[in-house]
Amino acid sequence: MMQQPQAAPVDPTKMGVGRSIAVLTSGGDAQGMNAAVRATVRVGLYTGAKVYFVHEGYQGLVDGGDNIRLATWESVSMMLQLGGTVIGSARCQDFRTKEGRNKAALNLVKLGITNLCVIGGDGSLTGANEFRSEWSEQLAALVKAGKITAEEVKRSSHLNIVGMVGSIDNDFCGTDMTIGTDSALHRIMEVVDAITTTAQSHQRTFILEVMGRHCGYLALVTALASGADWVFIPEMPPDDGWEDHLCRRLKETRGRGSRLNVIIVAEGALDRHGKPITCDQIKNLVSKRLGYDTRATVLGHVQRGGTPSAFDRILGSRMGVEAVMALLEATPETPACVVSLSGNMAVRLPLMECVQVTKDVTKAMAEGRFDDAIKLRGRSFENNWNTYKLLAHVHLPDVKSNINIAILNVGAPCSGMNAAVRSAVRIGILQGHHMLAVHDGFEGLACGLVEPIDWAGVGGWTGKGGSILGTKRTLPGNMVEDISLTIAKFNIHALVIIGGFEAFSGGLELVKAREKYEELCIPLVVIPATVSNNVPGSDFSIGADTALNTITTTCDRIKQSAAGTKRRVFIIETMGGYCGYLATMAGLSSGADAAYIFEDPFNIHDLELNVQHLVEKMKTTVKRGLILRNEKSNPNYTTDFIYNLYSEEGKGIFDCRKNVLGHMQQGGTPTPFDRNFGTKMGAKAILWLTEKMKECYRHGRIFANTPDSACVLGMKKRALVFQSFAELKDQVDFEHRIPKAQWWMRLRPILKILAKYKVHLDTSEKAAMEHVIKKRA
C-alpha cells in the first residue's frame, strides 16, 4: 500500500460518525474473543459509530431480527474475564449458500451496516471475504426482488471487512499468536504439571493428546515448556522406524536418572505415509516393548475452556482497537484485512494472502515437503522447532571442549529463571562444555559458591517458580577482586547472568573492571529476568508474564467482590519499581479505570478528574471501580493518599478499599510463555557464547575485551538480538532503573479509551498493510 500524503489530522472521536459496525464471533470458540468484542464495541462507540452485536455468528447474520442488536458501553462490562464468546457462535450451513448470504445482505442493508468485524478461524474469515466480493451482486439481486430501494443501495454501496483470528490452534499463517492460543497453553500446562507429579511418584510414562488437527503449535510449545521426551506434530512426521528411536530415547531418559517420560501428541499427528499416529498406538508400543507403566490422557475441550490469560485479553483488546481503525480507514480499493500481532507490533495483513499461506502449509504437508511446511508456519514456529530439536535429540558429545561456563541468578527471584538455567546447562553440555552453577548471585561468585551441574541436575526445572540457584540483589561493587579470584580459581571462561536490572548494572561493572582485572576479560551475556520488565535492550523479560497473570487473577476476584457489594472502588498497588509495565498491562487485562505510573506524570487535577469519572460511572449500571497504582509512581501521592482522597471525595457515592499485592507477584508456577521464553533465551545465549569464545581464542587462551563480547540478549520487536552494554548504556535512566524509551507506553491511550475517557488516540502512526507472501525464489 502506498503511504498517502499527510492529510489534516483526523479527530478520532469523529471518525465513525454516521457509520455502523457489526461484530460477530464464528467457528470454534476461543478464550479472549470477549476481550476483542468488548474493545471493538467501546472503540467503535468512542469514534462516534453505532455498533451492533450479531448473536450466534453467521447464523444470526442470516436469521436477522433479534439476533442483531445495538451494543452499548455497559453491555460489554464484565466480559473481559469470561472464556468462550458471550455473543455466541454457531457452525452455519445457510451462510455457505448464496440464498443465505442474500438474507444476510438484506439484514445489513436495512440497518445501514457497511462495516463487519469477524472474529473466527480461517474458514469464517474466508466466508467473510466471499461475502464481500459478491456484495454488489447481492445488492443488485435485492433491488431486482424489490426488497431494497435504490436509495438504500447508494447508502450501502460497499462492505468493509476486517478479521481477527480467534483459534486456539494458532493455525493461521501471518499471525504470531491467534486469540485463545496462550490460554489453551495455560490449560494444557496446568494438566501437564498435575500429571508430572503423579507420574514421578510411580515412574510412569505419560502420553498427552492436545488439540491441533492440522497445526502442531500447541503440541510443540507444550513439549518445549514441559521438557517432553518426544512430540508428534503434523508438520514434521517422524522418520520411518520411529518406534525403535522413541523406545531408545525413553530408555536413555530413564538411564539419566529421570523417573518419568512425557510424550506429547497433536490430534492430527501422522507418520511419513499419512497414516494417523494415535495415543493408543504409542501406549501399546511403550508398554509392550519397554514394559513401562504407561497412561494416555486426551485433553479435548478442556483446552477451549476457562478464563482467558492476560496475554489473550491484551491481544484481544489491542486487536479490537486496530480492527475499528482499519474498518474506518478502509476504502473500496483496500483488500479485506486481518489485524494481528507480529512481535509486539500491531499489523494489518491482506486476509486472502494469509488464507493462501495457510493453505500452502496443508499442501506442503500433503506433498511431503515437511521442511517447507515448518518454514511457512513462520519464524516463531521454526524457532520453537529448532529449540525442541536441540534439547530433545540428545547425544551427549564424546569430545569435551575444556571450556567452563558459569551461570548465576541476580536480583529478585521470578518465575522462568529456572527454565533459562535448565536450557543453558543442557545446551552447554551438548556443546561439550563443562557447566558450573553459582549460588546467591554476585555474592556467591565472590565467595566461591560454585559447583558443577550436570544434565540430571536440572531435570524438571522448567515448571518450577522462583530461583533454585538462589539469588541476591548485591552488585559486584567492592567484591570485584574476589570475583576475579573465583573466576581464576574455577577457570571460568564465560558467564551467563540471568536477572533483572541488577544483572544489567552488575554486568556493566564487570565490563568496566576489565581494565584492571584480566580475569574479567571473558565473554558474558545477560538474560533479562524480572517481574518489573525494566531491563534495557529487551521488550520483555522472563517472569513478567507470570506476574501479570497473577495480578490479573487477583483483580478478577476483587472485581467480583466489588460487583457484589456495588458502589465500591478498589485501589490496588502493584510492583515494578519505577517501571509502570505491570500496572499498565494489568490495567488493560483486568479492565481498570486508571493506572498510575511514574512514566506518565499525574497531578492533583488528574486525580480529581479520575474521581469525577468514577462518580459519573456510579450513575450507570456498572457500579464499581478498579484503580491500579505502581508502587513508585509518585513519592507524595502514595497508595494511602489516593485511598484517602477517593474515600473523602466519594462520600455518600462510593466507598473504597485498598490492596497491596506485594511479593505474591514474584511467585507462582511459570506461565507457558515464561517457560518457553526462558528456554529459548537460555539456548540462544549459550550458542552465542560458544561462537564468541572461538573469536576470542588467542595463544591458547580466551581473552575478550571488545565491547561486543559483553551483551544483553533481548527480544526486540520481532527477534532475539544481542546488544552490547556499550550501546545500551546511553538508553538508560539509571536513577530510576528504567530504559528511557518503552514500547508499551503507546498502549496507555487504549487503557484510557476502554475506561471511557475522551483522550486522543494517535492514529497518525498507521499500521500499513504488510504482505505475507514473500517473493519465493
Q: Which residues are catalytic?
A: 169
Among 388, 399, 391, 524, which residue's Cα sits nearest to residue 455?
391
Closest CA to 176 of 221, 238, 223: 221
Contact yes or no for 647/657 (Cβ under 8 A): no
Which three cell numbers mark 291?
514394559
Q: Distance between CA 759 and CA 751 in Å, rounded?
A: 10
CA distance 42 to 75: 10
| Pair 264, 231: CB distance under 8 Å | yes
Between CA 313 and CA 316 the distance in angstroms is: 5
Residue type at position 385: W
Residue 683, all three cell numbers? 539456548
Q: Could you write out the three-class secondary structure of 415-469? A: CCHHHHHHHHHHHHHHCCCEEEEECCHHHHHHHCCEEECCCHHHCCCCCCCCCCC
Q: Report residue 163 CA to chain centroid gap.
A: 19
Q: By 3-state DSSP, what share of the chain in percent is helix, strand and coil, each rounded to 5?
A: 45, 20, 35
Q: What size, in residues, is the chain?
A: 777
Please give the backbone phi and psi of residue 724, each rounded to the nearest 5 degrees, phi first: -75, 155
To which residue does cell 494517535 refer? 762
Distance of CA 610 to the CA centre of its chain: 30
- The answer to whether 637 and 594 are in contact (CB under 8 A) is no
Torsion of CA 598, 600, 605, 611, to 10 degrees: -80
Distance CA 37, CA 23 (A): 7
Q: Residue 22: which residues within 8 A CB-CB, separation 6 or more?
A: 51, 52, 53, 54, 61, 68, 108, 111, 113, 115, 116, 117
Which grid coordinates belong to 645? 482522597
Distance of alpha carbon 313 from alpha carbon 176, whole angstroms: 15
